[in-house]
Structure formats: structure tokens, C-alpha cells
Amino acid sequence: MLERALSSRRYNIHGDTDEPSSSEYSKTMKHNHFFCRITNRASNYLSRFTIGSGYLCFCVIIAFLFILLVFGSSLLFSSRGFVCISSFDTLSRARFFGFDDLESDFGALGVPWYTYNLILGKGRSKHGNTVEWTSKDLLKGLEEFVPIYETRPIKNNLYGMGFDHSFGLWFMARWLKPDMMIESGAFKGHSTWVLRQAMPDTPIISLSPRHPEKYLKKGPAYVDGNCTYFAGKDFVDFGSVDWPKVLHKHGIADLSRVLIFFDDHQNEMKRVEQALNVGFRHLVFEDNYDTGTGDHYSLRQICDQSYIRGGGHSCFKNSDEARIRSRRKKFWEKAVDIKELCGPDEAWWGVRGYMRDNFNHSNEPISYTEHFQNSRFIESILDVYWELPPVAGPSLTHQTRYDPARAPSPIVEDGKYGLFKRLGLAKLDNSVFNGYTQMVYLQISEQ
Ligand SMILES: C[S@@+](CC[C@H](N)C(=O)[O-])C[C@H]1O[C@@H](n2cnc3c(N)ncnc32)[C@H](O)[C@@H]1O
């Protein structure tokens, strides 16, 4: 689908003046021939007619010429619209209005699945359910969160969350107001601290092979006083916890009041199934890696399907997608070109046809049929899939990692430096904006 959308463009996306393709060229020629034939015939006919007629005939001729002119120009206009600008083609539209620099093309390479609706400003999921919060709420949240973030105990959270996802997690936890928060993957405890800022009195359960207190010996870390740690020698994987027992012990009866945060780099298909089996309904995944990237099979990869706008990919080396990707790779660290995207037999899904798990320690090939079935399954159990947008455009944050062409439009758009500054974002170090990987909130439907 992407291939089809991209092929409808006359020029490549960055304004390189490619020659029109031969098919596009012949299409233009065909219109010209047709138009010339009509005007030639009409003028022959008219010249014959005027010789032997009077004033009335002259008026008829003028009217006829006028109609011909209107018809001709509308033919030209509509054929241009058809070839160059398809109605939903964000990128072509952006170029049409003159915004063709690399920084202002959010979603230009397609953003799979529901996020596409967000690009169109609908903010709805497949089933018509939508998150309750609006972009205004996100802006308000940002204003409140920046001073909180500045007080974080772990200033340099390399390998953990940066600003965008810290804000996303804080915002969602505060909005959903769960009775219990569970995190899988704590590292030094930054995400535990974020959850605590959102909900000061709510109990947390944290699962992580290494206890965050271990990091305290070497530098800043966060250990929470109202958190039950299944960590260190007490570590249990999320899929092996006796959740009914643990939740009962904490007095939690309503599973729809529990928020789970996964930042453990495990196959997200596996994690959704485990959560579904227990009956949890609100999940946030920190690392929602794009197709062809990352160390575990992610929701975004699962949702990347040919029948979804912006989904499915062409491994054809001479395609528009290949050209765009190779150019974007020069600008964005996480952009992948067609060589990286596609494995043997043109397998583009997952990571080159592999379903990664556990920080890529497990790496199994997956057939397209299985991959497709996974997406259908996910689709069947979800009410909401919502990707956190990046907090601000790259011209403001100077981030160089994620490719805007595969991300939804940011909360603070490029060019809005005044707002960026007013929100206090200009005070933060650029490095905190480099960790965005499409954090996603899933709401599982009531089963
Ligand atoms: C990227 S770090 C988490 C960062 C943290 N959430 C933050 O933002 O600061 C991933 C963590 O997952 C932990 N981990 C590895 N396997 C895990 C598993 N099966 N369950 C839970 N955590 C796991 C790692 O030890 C590591 O601490």
C-alpha cells in the first residue's frame, strides 16, 4: 500500500527532481494528445462554420470555445491532482505546501495501525474507542511534569527512559489513577520513581533480576518505600508470578484498576498473552520498536501489516520506499534502509523475518502467516492502542535518533520554540530527548 501511495508521486520526497517515470510521462503525453486532438478538430470545425454564418454563429462559437477552455483546464487540473497528490498522502501534501525539509515530515513513511488515525487528528482506535486525554491535556501535563523531572534522583539514566517516555508514563499513570502499579524491568529505579511521582500513595510491585539497591553502591539509584520488589534473589518473571495470590495479598480485587508497565525487553506478544490470561487490562510498553529494529518483537512490529495504512513494506531495491529510506538513514540513527529492513526471501516483518525476545538472546524465524495471525489476534482483543507522540519536534530537541517519518506528530511541533521554552523544555539537556521509541498504551477489551 505504501508502495502504491509513494509511486503516485511525480518527484521523490526530498525534492530531488527525478525525471517522471516512463508510465507517468506517457500518462501526461496521453492527456496532451487527447487535448490537442479535440482542440484541433474543434478549430477546424469552427473555422468552416464561421465562414458562412453571421453574428449569432459567432456568439455560439465564443460560448463553445469558453466551454472547451473550462473543460480543458479542469482535465489538466484533475490529472495533476491524481498523479501528484493523493488525498491522504501526508508527505505529498506537505511538499505541495512547501514543507519538504527532513524535520517536518512526521509520519511521512507511514505509521502503522491506529496511530494513522492520530495523524489525521481523529485520535480514535479501530473500534472507535479513544483515549480520554487530548493534546491540550498532554500540553498541560508537560508544563507540570518538567519541574518534577528536574528533581529526578538519577540524572543520567543511560539504558533507561529519557524525558519523552518518563513524561508518557507519568501522564498515563496519573490519568488512569490505578489502585496498583506493576513494573517489569526496573534497572536503577528511574521508572519506579516516575510512577511514584504520578501516584504518591499507590502500591507498586517491581520485578527485575537485579535489585535497584545494588546500583546504590555505585551511584544514584531509587528504591521505593511502598514497593514490593520481586528482585535479586526474589526475582520472578512476570509470566511466572502467582498473580491472584499476590493481588489478593494486596487487597486488589478489580484487575481493571491495575496498570502494568513493561520495560523488560521481552517479546510483547508473549507479555500481552500473559497479561490477558490473568485479566489485566491496562498495559504500557516502553520500547515499542519499529519494524526492522530493536531486541524484541514489539506491538508496533506486530501491527505492521500490508493492509494497514503505512504498514507492510516493499523490499524492491528500486522502489520509492528504498530511495526514501536510504536517504533518511543518513539523518536519523534509527532509520533503517531497505538492506537492513529486509532479510532472506524479502522478509521485512519483525526484524528481517525474526521474532526477537529477551534482549535478542532468543531469535526465532517467524513466517508471514504467523506474524499476520499475531496482528489479527492483537486486533481482536484491544479496545485502544495509543502511541505517545514525541514531546517536541527535532528542530527543538536536537534529537537525532528516531526517524520522524515513522513517528506521530509531536506534542510541541517544530517551529514552536516559544512554547518549547515556556514549558521549560529548553532547559533540559538535549540527550534526554534521544530515547523515544513509540511508547504505547494498550487497553484490553473486557473479555
Ligand atoms: C531498560 S532497563 C529498564 C529501565 C527502567 N525501566 C528505567 O526506565 O530506568 C531493562 C531492565 O529489565 C531487566 N530485565 C531483564 N529481564 C527481565 C525480566 N524477565 N523481567 C523483568 N525485568 C527484566 C534488566 O535487568 C533491566 O534492569
Query: What confidence tens digit (pLDDT) does each residue in 9-38 have?
Result: 222 222 222 222 322 222 223 333 333 333
Inter-residue contact 276 to 256 (CB < 8 Å): no
SS3 of residue 102 by DSSP = helix
Cα separations in angstroms, 262 against 31, 241, 274, 286, 378:
56, 15, 12, 6, 17
Helix (H, G, I), strand (E, B) or coil at 366: coil
The model's pLDDT over 382-425, given as tens digits with 9 standing for 90+, comes to 888 899 999 999 999 999 999 999 998 999 999 999 999 999 99
Domain span at residue 153 reads: 115-444
pLDDT tens readout for residues 254-273: 999 999 999 999 999 999 99
CA of 31 to the centre of ligand 1 (A): 61
pLDDT tens per residue across span 132-174: 999 999 999 999 999 999 999 999 999 999 999 999 999 999 9
Give pLDDT, residue 62.
61
Residues 395, 364: one domain?
yes
Q: Which of 76, 100, 124 is the last residue of a domain?
A: 100
Asked if 9 and 139 sit in the same domain, the reply is no
CA 287 to ligand 1: nearest atom: 1
Whole-structure pTM value: 0.78
Domain-terminating residue out of 100, 135, 163: 100
HSE toward the beta carbon, residue 330, CA cutoff 13 A: 6
Complete edge-to-edge strand list for the sheet that includes strand 282-285:
227-231, 204-208, 180-184, 258-262, 282-285, 440-444, 382-387
Q: What pLDDT does 408 receive?
A: 87
Is 126 in the same domain as 60?
no
Is 308 contained in some domain?
Answer: yes
Task: Give the residue with greater pLDDT, 175 vs 99.
Answer: 175
Whether 106 maps to a domain, the answer reads no
pLDDT at 39: 37
Say yes or no to pLDDT of 120 above 50: no
Atom of ligand 1 nearest to the CA of 166: 8
Under 8 Å between Cβ of 258 and 195: no
Question: Is 105 a member of any domain?
Answer: no
pLDDT at 223: 98
Grid cell in block for residue 201: 500513595
Determine the 3-state secondary structure of 421 from DSSP.
Answer: helix
Domain count for the chain, please give it. Answer: 2
Residue of minimum CA distance from atom 17 in ligand 1 = 264
Q: Do 91 and 130 fall within a single domain?
A: no
Q: Are residues 72 and 131 located together in one domain of the fold?
A: no
Q: Which of these three, 77, 100, 123, is where a domain ends?
A: 100
Among 241, 169, 176, which residue's Cα sits nearest to residue 205? 241
* Beta strand ranges found along 180-271 (DSSP E): 180-184, 204-208, 227-231, 258-262
pLDDT of residue 307: 80
At 268-292, the pLDDT tens digits run: 999 999 999 999 999 999 999 999 9
Residue 289 dihedral angles phi and psi, to the nearest 5°: -60, 145
| Mean pLDDT in residue range 103-130 | 54
Same domain, 71 and 215: no
CA separation for the pair 339, 325 (Å, rounded): 10
Ligand 1 centroid–CA 114 distance in Å is: 27
Same domain, 81 and 133: no
| Pocket, ligand 1, Cβ cutoff 6 A | 157, 159-161, 184-188, 190-191, 207-210, 237-238, 263-266
Quick one: cell of 303? 501491527
Instruction: Over range 80-95, report the average pLDDT.
Output: 28
What's the rounded Cα separation, in Å, for the pair 330 and 273? 38
200: buried, middle or exposed (CB in 10 Å: 19+, 13-18, 0-12)? Answer: exposed
Q: Does 136 lie in the same domain as 206?
A: yes
> Quick one: 353 and 384 in the same domain?
yes
Are 304 and 380 in a shared domain?
yes
- Domain identity same for 77 and 124: no
Question: What's residue 129's pLDDT?
Answer: 65
Tell me the backbone φ, ψ of residue 159, rounded to 5 degrees.
75, 0
**Backbone angles phi and psi of 325, in degrees to 5:** -60, -40
**Residue of 263, 287, 432 best suited for mutating to test ligand 1, as the one with most atoms within 8 Å of CB:** 263
Claim to verify: residue 338 and residue 276 sit in the same structural domain: yes
Q: Lowest-confidence range among 41-55, 316-330, 339-353, 369-383?
A: 41-55
